Amino acid sequence: MVRVERRARDAGRGTQAAACRSLRAAPVAFPFFLFPFLIAVTATPLAAQTDEVGLPLGTVPEAVVIEDLDGNDVDLAQYIGGKPTLFQFWAHWCEQCEQLKPAMEAAHEKYGDRVNFIAVSVAINQSKRSIKRHLEKSPTPHVVLWDTRGRAVRAFKAPTTSYVVVLDADGRVAYTGVGPDQDVDMAIRRVVDET
């Protein structure tokens, strides 16, 4: 009986353990400013969480400058206000991001002309080159950016990968969520119906 309970408990940790193993394989020169993010990744439950993580609803995130995959500066201010925007904090090794991908692609298909879709690639256990290779095999319609110094992670208080933030047309946070079971369509519909 103990073995069965232990197996059931360990099976529930499979996805999180795989993510933790990937993070442990990160290079020794791990950027220290990302340790809060690392701790959050290993401590976040796998179930979807909505409207209770990261940035408080109604706030406007700090506009920071990160990069595109070619190393060019991108000011996130251009995506904050004027038009609704969805930000997803993403990594190619993130199983939850991969599980969320069909919902993200369906939302982009439905709302892509009215909403900006931005994938913020975190600088943990991946590089611009590995992201480009991944996108060649598994393209995405979203704008993909690179957060090499963790500026966007800090500005958006990203607790983990698969973290989604939806901003309304005024640049205010209308939705936050984590995990593969987020209702992305509903989150976007809220801000599109307001415009």
pLDDT digits (tens, 9 = 90+) for 53-99: 899 999 999 999 999 999 999 999 999 999 999 999 999 999 999 99
**Average pLDDT estimate for 41-50:** 40
Which long-range CB contacts under 8 A does 146-149 form with residues at least 24 apart? 146/66, 146/67, 146/68, 146/69, 146/121, 147/66, 147/67, 147/89, 147/120, 147/121, 147/122, 147/123, 148/66, 148/67, 148/123, 149/31, 149/33, 149/66, 149/123
Q: What was the pLDDT predicted at 60?
A: 96
State the residue range of the domain holding 90: 2-194
Q: Report the percent of the chain where pLDDT is more than 70.
A: 73
Task: Identify the CATH number of the domain in which residue 49 sits.
Answer: 3.40.30.10
Q: Please determine, for residue 16, whether its predicted confidence score (pLDDT) is greater than 90.
A: no
Tell which wins on pLDDT, 41 or 56.
56
Tell which wins on pLDDT, 3 or 167.
167
Global pTM reads: 0.75
Q: What was the pLDDT predicted at 1?
A: 39
Q: What was the pLDDT predicted at 52?
A: 65
Q: Please determine, for residue 15, whether its predicted confidence score (pLDDT) is greater than 80.
A: no
Mean pLDDT for the chain? 80
Tell which wins on pLDDT, 17 or 91.
91
pLDDT digits (tens, 9 = 90+) for 103-122: 999 999 999 999 999 999 99
Q: Which pair of structure tokens corresponds to residue 85?
A: 């925007």
pLDDT digits (tens, 9 = 90+) for 24-39: 233 333 444 444 444 4
- Res. 193 pLDDT band, cuts 50 70 90: confident
Domain total for the chain?
1
Q: If we measure between CA atoms, which residue out of 67, 66, 132, 122 comes closest to residue 97?
A: 122
